[in-house]
């Protein structure tokens, strides 16, 4: 009797081992499939996120199409070295003489004939504000 119990026990363990090997490989296949699907969805989500952020970014970019005789401001990168809240990094206004095909802009000071070339990314449009020069006074009474 002891031999039949041992045989049954060994058979039980053999079946269990066989199932665990094949069952675990099946589980691994399922896990690999799920991981592939997860990676695919992550890739698609990243692609959609990039497209959406690009649309938002492109919407905020202002057009920098310059024409001759237009007034512009020039970015002064040397002022970045010296800190300070009150120093303006934009100088000008300058007048556009011509725009090259590669984006360089030829500028001149309004009162002189001397021209110089700058990168078009260092230039922005100058908008003159119609300021009201009238002054008003407010009397403050002591309470």
Mean predicted confidence (pLDDT) in 107-132: 83
* 8-22, 30-44, 70-84: range with highest mean pLDDT: 30-44
User: Does 4 share its domain with 55?
Assistant: yes
The Cα–Cα gap between 119 and 114 comes to 17
Q: Does some domain include residue 131?
A: no
pTM above 0.85, yes or no: no
Per the model's pLDDT, the better-predicted residue between 82 and 1 turns out to be 82
- pLDDT at res. 12: 66
Q: Does some domain include residue 141?
A: no
pLDDT tens for each residue of 45-67: 999 999 999 999 988 877 778 88
User: Does 56 share its domain with 92?
Assistant: no
Given a cut of 70, whether residue 127 has pLDDT beyond it is yes
Q: What is the number of domains present in the chain? A: 2
- pLDDT at res. 41: 87
Q: Does some domain include residue 133?
A: no
User: Does 4 share its domain with 56?
Assistant: yes
The Cα–Cα gap between 76 and 119 comes to 12
Given a cut of 90, whether residue 113 has pLDDT beyond it is no
User: Does 120 share its domain with 88?
Assistant: yes
* 41-50, 118-127, 133-142: range with highest mean pLDDT: 41-50
Domain limits for position 80: 71-125
Q: Does some domain include residue 42?
A: yes
- With CA atoms as reference, report the closest residue to 124 among 100, 86, 94: 94
Among 12-16, 31-35, 48-52, 70-74, where is mean pLDDT lowest? 12-16
**CATH assignment of the domain containing 98:** 2.30.30
Per the model's pLDDT, the better-predicted residue between 61 and 137 turns out to be 61
User: Does 22 share its domain with 44?
Assistant: yes
The Cα–Cα gap between 99 and 61 comes to 20
Determine how β-strand 90-99 pairs with β-strand 104-108.
antiparallel
Final residue before a domain boundary, out of 21, 36, 61: 61
- pLDDT at res. 140: 72
Decide if 99 contacts 67 (C-beta within 8 A): yes
Task: Specify the residue for token string 């004939």.
Answer: 113
- pLDDT at res. 141: 74
Integer angstrom CA distances of residue 86 from 1, 26, 42, 67, 137: 100, 69, 46, 31, 27
């Amino acid at each position: 009797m002891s031999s039949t119990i041992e045989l049954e026990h060994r058979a039980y363990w053999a079946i269990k081992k066989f199932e665990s090997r094949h069952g675990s490989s099946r589980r691994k296949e399922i896990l690999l499939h799920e991981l592939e699907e997860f990676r695919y969805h992550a890739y698609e989500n990243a692609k959609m996120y990039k497209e959406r952020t690009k649309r938002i970014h492109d919407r905020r970019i202002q057009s920098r199409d310059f024409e001759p005789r237009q007034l512009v401001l020039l970015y002064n990168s040397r002022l970045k070295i010296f800190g300070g809240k009150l120093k303006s990094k934009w100088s000008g206004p300058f007048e556009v003489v011509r725009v090259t095909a590669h984006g360089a802009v030829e500028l001149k000071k309004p009162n002189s004939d001397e021209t110089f070339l700058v990168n078009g990314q260092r230039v922005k449009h100058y908008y003159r504000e119609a300021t009201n020069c009238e002054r008003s006074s407010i009397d403050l009474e002591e309470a």
